[in-house]
A and B are shown apart, each in its own frame.
Chain A
């Protein structure tokens, strides 16, 4: 009797085990399937998006131009401690390599890089390159420095030799410091750049200033609208919501264009104002900070209204009445009872508007003046006009870090899965 019971039990247990393992296998299969479905998108985003950005950001800590153009010189300069002049043998290597580089025309980006360190380096190096074959090749070690000085007297200044030494790479904080208006002096200490080159700290502060101001204005204008939408009956609030969504769906460029048409000197507002006799001369409404604020707030306002509205919709209106019936003044009831309940929406809206405005480029570029350009403008400028990609990458790094910090806060506070799209 007992034996049979035992065997049934063990058979049951065995069956239980297979069921368990089969369940586990099914679960594993689900995961494999899930990963297989996600994989194509993941690979695609990696190749088309993540790798490009990482490879750009890498430029901000690299310093490879000189070592690419003059690899042997870089090797020879490594032995030099940076005091006074490099050993004559290293100069000879440099001279030899200049001849080759001049022949192959591979000096371009290296001269540009060295010119960042000391202006005037570019023309000097070009001149030296041209004369290298005749005047420098095969000069004995004890005369090599004089031969350089004979071509350009600036070679007698150790600072130029040192600039080459400083640019040997492969890693360097040169561009990162530049993006913060700093540089290293002869002793390797971090000092301010000359004031003529110091613009990026100002640009960074200005970017923050514009973003904060735009966020505040959006909040002040967005709160009443969200409140109105939330307190109206649904049929009417739906209609008004469409009025908010319409600009939201219209392209940024179209809306910026509309503001140019309205604000420019012969634009609608100036024409109307003069026609009505309100003012006589066209007012400067564009190419200044005013225009930037007007256009940026217009574009970002829906991002403030929508999250606040969706939170306000869920607030029981009786709370306000209850507070008032208990003797609170209407304003006190609003501030103490209603507003605290809106905080999640307000937090989401302000953070979103702030994060988005940090990276603005098109609108300030079209309606702002030279003093209203944000950090994105200088990334584009360095990327496409001055071709200083290292500096562009360093500025990108700063902008990215700034954005990620606030996005991290947004994520903790709101959760990125609740990102509203409209």
Chain B
């Protein structure tokens, strides 16, 4: 992006305009995230700077409120189980899709990808209608099934991407040395594709963790997840406790993002060695 020394004045003006423009867009992207975090430490319940003093009272309010803690607990339960279901089914399916070509594979892929594409409100309304008829609405089980369905595509996509560079001769080698298919899977295949499986699992977890629309439809008051609590909180009165929750969620996202990035680098490094 450096400006060449022979740049004309017009080019110089454009160059600086471009830099100012890009800075402004980056500010637009980042300001909301970085503005809300300090406000959660405000000692008074207003959303304005300069802040009068610092306190942890909004965090205290979160950790002493039964409702928020119930939401946290539900979010963790639903997230963990949805991730388990999505990761198991998704990894197996990715292995199968990678193994052979067969008729209807494209149709299968289309169905598989559809939870990402179909507008979430349609999914949520459909699940609300159908799960109610089989007694699964207002249960954590229903929410786990719903979130697992939304997470499966991400697992299949990430694991499939890892499998692209997978050398099937290793599986044959394992089998030729006398290992049964399960042993081959756990001793050879799984360790090789583990970074993909873990990133897929993280994707599935964050999908469930952030999911709100299905939770609005499917969760009764006892099954409120964290986003569902935030949603009713925002609609009633935007209290600073919500900024505290938002801050913790942002930090959690950063943590997950760093993990994903490290996993990605590890995969790339491993590939580099093999090639």
Q: Chain A interface (Cβ within 8 Å of chain B)? A: 30-31, 33-38, 40-42, 44-45, 48-57, 59, 221, 224-225, 228, 231-232, 240, 242-247, 249-262, 264, 266-268, 271-272, 298, 301-302, 330, 355, 358-359, 361-362, 366, 376, 379-380, 383-384, 389, 392-393, 396, 399-400, 403-404, 407, 416-417, 419, 421
Pair A40/B47 contact, Cβ less than 8 Å: no
User: A299–B126 Cα gap in the complex (Å)?
Assistant: 25
Closest to B128 in A: A383
Binds A, one of B52-60, B64-72, B94-102, B267-275: B94-102
Please tell me which one of the listed residues B113, B116, B118 contacts residue A53 in the complex, with CB atoms under 8 A apart.
Answer: B118
Q: Chain B interface (Cβ within 8 Å of chain A)? A: 1, 11, 18, 21-22, 25-26, 28-33, 35-36, 39, 46-49, 85, 89-90, 92-93, 95-97, 99-100, 102, 108-123, 125-131, 133, 145-146, 148-149, 152, 154, 156-158, 203, 206, 209-210, 212-213, 216-217, 227, 230-231, 234-235, 238, 242-243, 246, 249-250, 253-254, 256-257
Shortest Cβ-Cβ A-B pairs, 7 listed: A359-B119, A37-B96, A52-B130, A258-B32, A56-B126, A251-B210, A52-B126
Other 13 A-B pairs with CB < 8 A, given A260-B238, A264-B238: A30-B99, A31-B102, A40-B92, A42-B111, A49-B115, A55-B126, A56-B130, A245-B257, A246-B254, A251-B209, A254-B249, A261-B243, A396-B122
- The secondary-structure label for the interface of chain A is helix
Pair A268/B122 contact, Cβ less than 8 Å: no
Q: How far is the CB of B18 from chain A (nearest CB, A)?
A: 7
Q: How far is the CB of B256 from chain A (nearest CB, A)?
A: 7
Q: How far is the CB of A160 from chain B (nearest CB, A)?
A: 30
Pair A48/B146 contact, Cβ less than 8 Å: yes
Pair A224/B122 contact, Cβ less than 8 Å: no
User: A314–B26 Cα gap in the complex (Å)?
Assistant: 23
Pair A224/B246 contact, Cβ less than 8 Å: no
Q: How far is the CB of A67 from chain B (nearest CB, A)?
A: 19
Pair A379/B230 contact, Cβ less than 8 Å: no
Closest to B235 in A: A366
Pair A396/B111 contact, Cβ less than 8 Å: no
A residues less than 8 Å from B85 (CB atoms): 44
A residues less than 8 Å from B123 (CB atoms): 49, 52-53
Pair B249/A33 contact, Cβ less than 8 Å: no
User: A419–B118 Cα gap in the complex (Å)?
Assistant: 14
A residues less than 8 Å from B158 (CB atoms): 421
A residues less than 8 Å from B246 (CB atoms): 254, 257-258
Pair A224/B118 contact, Cβ less than 8 Å: no
Pair A40/B117 contact, Cβ less than 8 Å: no
B residues less than 8 Å from A255 (CB atoms): 32-33
A residues less than 8 Å from B31 (CB atoms): 262
B residues less than 8 Å from A261 (CB atoms): 32, 35-36, 39, 47, 238, 243
Pair A35/B96 contact, Cβ less than 8 Å: yes
Pair A53/B121 contact, Cβ less than 8 Å: no
User: A244–B30 Cα gap in the complex (Å)?
Assistant: 8
B residues less than 8 Å from A251 (CB atoms): 209-210, 227, 249, 253
Of the listed residues B46, B48, B122, the one surrounded by the most CB atoms of chain A closer than 10 A to its CB is B122
User: A258–B129 Cα gap in the complex (Å)?
Assistant: 32
User: A276–B123 Cα gap in the complex (Å)?
Assistant: 47
A residues less than 8 Å from B234 (CB atoms): 253, 256-257, 260, 366
Pair A358/B119 contact, Cβ less than 8 Å: yes
Pair A249/B257 contact, Cβ less than 8 Å: yes
Given A34-B100, A416-B110, A44 and B117 touching (CB < 8 A)? Answer: no
Pair B130/A51 contact, Cβ less than 8 Å: yes
Closest to B227 in A: A253
Please tell me which one of the listed residues A34, A50, A240, A419 contacts residue B102 in the complex, with CB atoms under 8 A apart.
Answer: A34
Closest to A359 in B: B119
Please tell me which one of the listed residues A55, A262, A264, A400 contacts residue B122 in the complex, with CB atoms under 8 A apart.
Answer: A400
B residues less than 8 Å from A56 (CB atoms): 122, 125-126, 129-130
Pair A379/B125 contact, Cβ less than 8 Å: yes
User: A383–B157 Cα gap in the complex (Å)?
Assistant: 32
B residues less than 8 Å from A221 (CB atoms): 25, 28
Pair B35/A262 contact, Cβ less than 8 Å: yes
Pair B1/A259 contact, Cβ less than 8 Å: no
B residues less than 8 Å from A417 (CB atoms): 109
Given A37-B96, A261-B243, A403-B117, A250 and B109 touching (CB < 8 A)? Answer: no
Pair A259/B32 contact, Cβ less than 8 Å: yes
Please tell me which one of the listed residues A37, A228, A361, A379 contacts residue B95 in the complex, with CB atoms under 8 A apart.
Answer: A37
Pair B257/A37 contact, Cβ less than 8 Å: no
